[in-house]
């Protein structure tokens, strides 16, 4: 068996945000979210269910799954594979935007429902905090009086989760193990509940069509290039050749991020056709950025 890496955006949304994934999403959310009085989610509606995306290029580093819970609360579940400047502000902005857009002109404020932004990161975000799951709410600074629970930010940092298969005791353990490791497994672990078995079956590459598989593999390559680019920039900085390529690309109207990706993908030896598929740029533009002739 071969499974999709659900840390990539298309696979994450296919498993947790498909039209028939409601039971999967309920099981996962109940395992990682805590509600007052020990309340559990009994039903939800998945907003904008998964469909094969028709994307030119691979610009986004995250995907979100949106759900409306049985009590009216909104949940935004996001898988974030790459850290970037302004990430925490964007997450807060996205939560606040989803909170405010609930009201139409003339609606009363008491009609607003709570919004929970659940972000799963494939990197360590809070380096001085050992907690795997971190919750943020609006509270008074000295007495810790809760102002409102209408906006809650929840973070799960996958690098802090290190349990092996033999150590999986709770349903939360099993879901986090699935998200972190399913892409490297070649079998379905034992002692899973019905929802986890269903998630494994959805992630099984044998159940995907050719178009879906191509998109998954392209995204995985894109993420690898982005991570390698960040590591290269961190270790060596942008060398003179990269700077020249950046200037040439900027003259063609392309973004800095796209240009860096082209340059680093080329440096890694990827063919022009592959770079074109990952960035959405045609081969002529790529050659201009690289300063070469066809």
Q: What is the pLDDT of residues 267-283, one digit of tens each?
A: 767 778 777 777 778 88
Confidence class for position 221, pLDDT limits 50, 70, 90: low
- Distance from C-alpha of 285 to C-alpha of 276, rounded to nearest angstrom: 9
SS3 152: strand
The model carries a pTM of: 0.74
- The residue assigned the tokens 């949304």 is 13
Averaged pLDDT of the chain: 81
pLDDT of residue 286: 83
Q: Copy the structure tokens of residue 44.
A: 């939800």
State which H helix or E strand residue 163 sits in. none
Confidence class for position 57, pLDDT limits 50, 70, 90: very low
Lowest mean pLDDT among 62-71, 186-195, 240-249: 240-249
Buried b / exposed e across 2-24, counting CB within 10 Å, b at 16+?
Answer: ebbbbbbbbbbbbbbbbeebbeb
- Distance from C-alpha of 278 to C-alpha of 270, rounded to nearest angstrom: 11
- Distance from C-alpha of 152 to C-alpha of 115, rounded to nearest angstrom: 6
pLDDT of residue 25: 96
Beta strands in 98-203 (DSSP E): 115-121, 133-139, 146-157
**Mean local confidence (pLDDT), 48-75:** 71
DSSP H helical ranges for the chain: 9-17, 22-32, 87-100, 171-181, 194-203, 210-236, 240-251, 256-267, 272-279, 283-290
pLDDT of residue 211: 72
């Amino acid at each position: 068996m071969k499974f999709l890496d659900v840390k990539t955006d298309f696979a994450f949304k296919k498993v947790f945000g498909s039209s028939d994934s409601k039971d999967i999403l309920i099981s996962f959310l109940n395992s990682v979210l805590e509600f007052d009085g020990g309340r559990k989610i009994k039903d939800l509606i998945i907003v904008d269910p998964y469909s094969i995306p028709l994307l030119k290029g691979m610009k986004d580093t995250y995907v979100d799954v949106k759900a409306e819970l049985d009590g009216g609360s909104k949940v935004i579940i996001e898988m974030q594979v790459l850290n970037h400047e302004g990430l925490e502000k964007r997450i807060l902005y996205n939560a606040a935007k989803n909170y405010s857009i609930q009201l139409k002109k003339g609606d009363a404020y008491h009609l607003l429902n709570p919004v929970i932004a659940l972000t799963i990161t494939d990197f360590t975000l809070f380096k001085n905090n050992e907690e795997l799951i971190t919750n943020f709410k609006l509270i008074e600074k000295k007495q810790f009086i809760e102002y409102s629970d209408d906006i809650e930010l929840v973070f799960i940092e996958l690098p802090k989760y290190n349990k092996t298969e033999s150590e999986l005791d709770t349903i939360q353990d099993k879901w986090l193990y699935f998200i972190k490791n399913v892409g490297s497994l070649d079998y379905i672990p034992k002692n899973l509940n019905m929802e986890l078995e269903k998630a494994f079956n959805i992630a099984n590459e044998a159940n995907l069509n050719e178009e879906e598989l191509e998109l998954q593999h392209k995204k995985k390559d894109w993420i690898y290039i982005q991570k390698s680019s960040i590591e290269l920039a961190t270790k060596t900085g942008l060398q003179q050749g990269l700077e020249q390529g950046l200037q040439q690309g900027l003259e063609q109207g392309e973004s800095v991020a796209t240009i860096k990706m082209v340059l680093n993908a080329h440096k890694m030896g990827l063919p022009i056709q592959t770079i074109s598929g990952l960035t959405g740029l045609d081969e002529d533009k790529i050659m201009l950025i690289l300063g070469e002739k066809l």
